[in-house]
Structure 1
Amino acid sequence: MPRATGPRHGCRLLGLALAAAVGLAGCKRDGGRAAEAAQEQPPVALAPENVAVVSSRRLQSGPEVAGTLHARRTATLRAEVGGAVAEVRVDAGERVKSGQLLARIDASALQDAVRAAHSAVTSAQNALRVAESGARRAHTLAREGAMAEQDAERADAQLEAARAQVEDAKARLAAAEQQAGKTAVRAPFAGVVSERSVSSGDVVASGAALYTVIDPSRLQFEGSVPAASVGALVPGAPVDFSVTGFGGRRFDGHIERVNPAVDPSTGQVRVYVDVPNADGRLLAGLYAQGRVASQASEALSAPATAVDATSTPPTVMKVQDGKVQKVAVEIALRDDVAGAVGFRSGVKQGDVLVLGSARGALADGTPVRVVEDPRAQKSN
């Protein structure tokens, strides 16, 4: 049986439509308030340590090198004669001049030998005079026929033997004096005593180590570089490095020579870096690490933590118009020692980039506020 469609039914449909219209209007109002709330979201505060300004600087890249500083010039002084150490004049750490007396070994026995050698020379010279007189007399008698010519020749032979004995005695005297002179231990060059191995009263044998003297004005950085980077190792290539105990201070040197063979156990190549040390601050034996600067250029740069290297291409989060914007960049150079990267494209001078964990926590378009503008800091 058909249902009635009178005035009462039409009113019911209109009420439903109005209710739907009112509900839809309410939803639109709620959505608008949500959008407005999203637009009114307070910006994320970025502290100065969370941002960096893109600026132009000189960057370098190349293989890392690590090793130890050694004195370029060193000498271990050893006893040339045995005996008791009579005196010690210099201690470790003291500066010395070339030829300065460092220690002396007791020379009593050697002086006795010198005196004996002097006596032998005197005796040989006396014997020579007697032989000369005898030879002259023999030749005179031979000419007068009072002596056989054979006896005169024998006198000449005795004279030659006497002359040889004089020369031998003089040589023995020179050797004795030379040995006596070896009791004085002197510095071979100007430098610093790095080690003293004896004390006054010690009895040492010939060849025993007494002192070690180094020249600290020039050091040598003996380091190792992976064999894969051997192409960058050329004599004259600049090397910048840091040294244990000097904080972030950087030092410079140049490759002097490269070992022609790779160490099979480590896969490393040995390099020898000449390091000027005129002020003497660097010390032999300190550990050093740095980088062979095989490539260098001036580029727009920022800390390496500003770059998301996991994306392809790499990206940065740039602060622009109060929001962060993800921007693709092209890296020209990485300076691992300085912890910076150089850009070929994607940023310009003065751009503010978000660093590290702050960069990873922000989505593209997030409102931000730099607590203290680093560009203002830089200008001050």
Structure 2
Amino acid sequence: MPTPQSRVRRFVRLAPLAVLATAACSKPAADESAPEPPVQVAADQVAMVDSLEVESGPALSGTLTAERTAQVRSQMSGTVLVLYVKEGQAVSAGQAIALIDTTVAAEQARSARSALRSAQVQSQLATRNAERAATLLKAGAIADRDEEGARAQAQSAAAAVADATSRLASAEKLLRDGTVRAPFAGVISELPVSAGDVVQGGAGGATLLATVVDPTELTLEASVPAEHLGAIKRGAQVEFTLNGMSTKVVTGTVSRINPTVDPTTRQVRIYIVVPNRNQALASGLFAEGRVTVEATRALAVPISALDPRATTPSVKRLKGGKVELVPVTLGLRDALRERVVVTGVARGDTVLLGGAIGTPTGSLVRITRADG
């Protein structure tokens, strides 16, 4: 039979084991009660619900062109002696672009002046003869036919003066055409000739010397579906973005509408005036945008805030630092600015965007900034 002392010694030996067993049994319970760490969400994956401008209308696409473009062609044949400008250079109205050899034109002008002086002398003589003949006819000193002949010679001489004057004007114009000038203020967009090139004049095959464009006002030639024609009016605002440039939205105004529909594409051509005083835009850029036919200011969220997995329109909202799924009703959608009008959320609410929408409902979220 064990003595009391032996029982005490046995308890002392078993006590540590009991403590270990108790600790082992209680450890899982402590682990189970530990809170889950918050989900880290980047600041660019959340947005605040706010009152925003939302606009909608038919989509369009087209190319920017200069409202004023001039192809400057040679008015005379000859060799290009000097080019005063380069491509991309700004020019003022009347500024010299090129100089063409005017040796032949100068000789023609000299000959025309000489011919005019001779014709004027002949005309003066013929006029005096006609006046004398008229006096003699009144005195009965000559026959009618003699007076008529003198008068005809005076008229012929006057016609010769007019012809010589016209020839001189043409020769002097040709001489002036040797200096090619910009028709208006703009920029040289094309310069296909070089000094030393021989160019041709005349209306039929005149050589292209330069192309001048006015970059301060551009035109967007765009197409829209014909079914939207009734909603588009002259003066309507157009918003678009340009390929190859920043995502900044550019605005313009509808100035003209083509009255015919393309039978193949069922598209209508419209022309939008785009101010470009700072010359930040360039002719030839491809544009995509829309004509504004409906606009409102209301609570809106980015389109990327809509949960694609939800069976009804919903957003993931942060409330008390936790994620909750909130059904919303959609209104006007702005595809260009990628925002949509919603009801069901309040101004100032924070919603998840893009990949962050996959964060499970009920999760604790911590928003991380770029600076940590």
Deviations 1:8-29 (A, max 9, x none): xxxxxxxxxxxxxxxxxxxxxx
Size of the aligned set, in residue pairs, is 339
Match of residue 347 from structure 1? 345
Identity across the alignment (%): 42
Secondary structure, aligned partner of 2:36: coil
Match of residue 226 from structure 1? 225
**Pairing 1:368–2:354 present:** no
Moved more, 123-132 or 101-110: 123-132
**Pairing 1:71–2:71 present:** no
User: How far apart are 1:141 and its partner, in Å?
Assistant: 4.2
**Pairing 1:55–2:39 present:** no
Equivalent residues in 2 for 1:142-291, closer than 5 Å? 142-206=137-201, 207-291=206-290
User: 2 CA distance for matches of 1:256 and 1:136?
Assistant: 65
Distance verdict in 2 for CA 1:354–1:105, change over 3 Å = same
User: How far apart are 1:154 and its partner, in Å?
Assistant: 2.1
Deviations 1:43-77 (A, max 9, x none): 65141344322122222222222221111111101
Secondary structure, aligned partner of 1:266: coil
Match of residue 355 from structure 2? 357
Match of residue 133, structure 1, among 128, 132, 135? 128
Equivalent residues in 2 for 1:307-322, closer than 5 Å? 307-308=306-307, 311=310, 313-322=312-321
User: 1 CA distance for matches of 2:190 and 2:330?
Assistant: 51
Secondary structure, aligned partner of 1:122: helix
Secondary structure, aligned partner of 2:63: strand
Distance verdict in 2 for CA 1:260–1:291, change over 3 Å = same
Q: RMSD in angstroms over aligned alpha carbons?
A: 2.7
User: 2 CA distance for matches of 1:128 and 1:180?
Assistant: 27
Distance verdict in 2 for CA 1:310–1:235, change over 3 Å = farther
User: How far apart are 1:99 and its partner, in Å?
Assistant: 0.9
Does the CA contact (< 8 Å) of 1:230 and 1:269 recur in 2? yes
Secondary structure, aligned partner of 2:124: helix
Distance verdict in 2 for CA 1:316–1:114, change over 3 Å = same
Does the CA contact (< 8 Å) of 1:232 and 1:292 recur in 2? no
Match of residue 331 from structure 2? 332
User: 2 CA distance for matches of 1:159 and 1:369?
Assistant: 107
Deviations 1:239-296 (A, max 9, x none): 2222234322222111112222233333332221111111111111122222222222
Distance verdict in 2 for CA 1:124–1:329, change over 3 Å = same
Match of residue 24 from structure 1? none
Match of residue 100 from structure 2? 105
User: How far apart are 1:184 and its partner, in Å?
Assistant: 2.1
Distance verdict in 2 for CA 1:291–1:43, change over 3 Å = farther
Match of residue 28 from structure 1? none
User: 2 CA distance for matches of 1:169 and 1:334?
Assistant: 74
Match of residue 300 from structure 1? 299
User: 2 CA distance for matches of 1:115 and 1:273?
Assistant: 51
Does the CA contact (< 8 Å) of 2:323 and 2:359 recur in 1? no
Secondary structure, aligned partner of 1:58: strand
Deviations 1:97-124 (A, max 9, x none): 1111111221211222212221222222
The residue type equivalent to 1:52 in the other structure is A
User: 1 CA distance for matches of 2:45 and 2:232?
Assistant: 37
Q: Structure 2: which 5+ residue stretches go unaligned? A: 1-27
Does the CA contact (< 8 Å) of 1:65 and 1:225 recur in 2? yes
Does the CA contact (< 8 Å) of 2:305 and 2:354 recur in 1? yes
Distance verdict in 2 for CA 1:137–1:307, change over 3 Å = closer
Secondary structure, aligned partner of 1:150: helix
Does the CA contact (< 8 Å) of 2:56 and 2:294 recur in 1? yes
Secondary structure, aligned partner of 1:371: strand
Match of residue 7 from structure 2? none
The residue type equivalent to 1:300 in the other structure is L
The residue type equivalent to 1:348 in the other structure is A
Moved more, 131-140 or 190-199: 131-140
Match of residue 122 from structure 1? 117
Does the CA contact (< 8 Å) of 2:305 and 2:315 recur in 1? yes
Distance verdict in 2 for CA 1:231–1:368, change over 3 Å = farther
User: 1 CA distance for matches of 2:100 and 2:290?
Assistant: 48
User: How far apart are 1:182 and its partner, in Å?
Assistant: 2.1
Distance verdict in 2 for CA 1:331–1:198, change over 3 Å = same
Secondary structure, aligned partner of 1:129: helix
Distance verdict in 2 for CA 1:355–1:136, change over 3 Å = closer
Equivalent residues in 2 for 1:29-40, closer than 5 Å? 37=32
User: How far apart are 1:318 and its partner, in Å?
Assistant: 2.2
Does the CA contact (< 8 Å) of 1:67 and 1:223 recur in 2? yes
User: How far apart are 1:132 and its partner, in Å?
Assistant: 2.9
User: 2 CA distance for matches of 1:66 and 1:139?
Assistant: 79
Distance verdict in 2 for CA 1:358–1:171, change over 3 Å = closer
User: 2 CA distance for matches of 1:189 and 1:117?
Assistant: 31
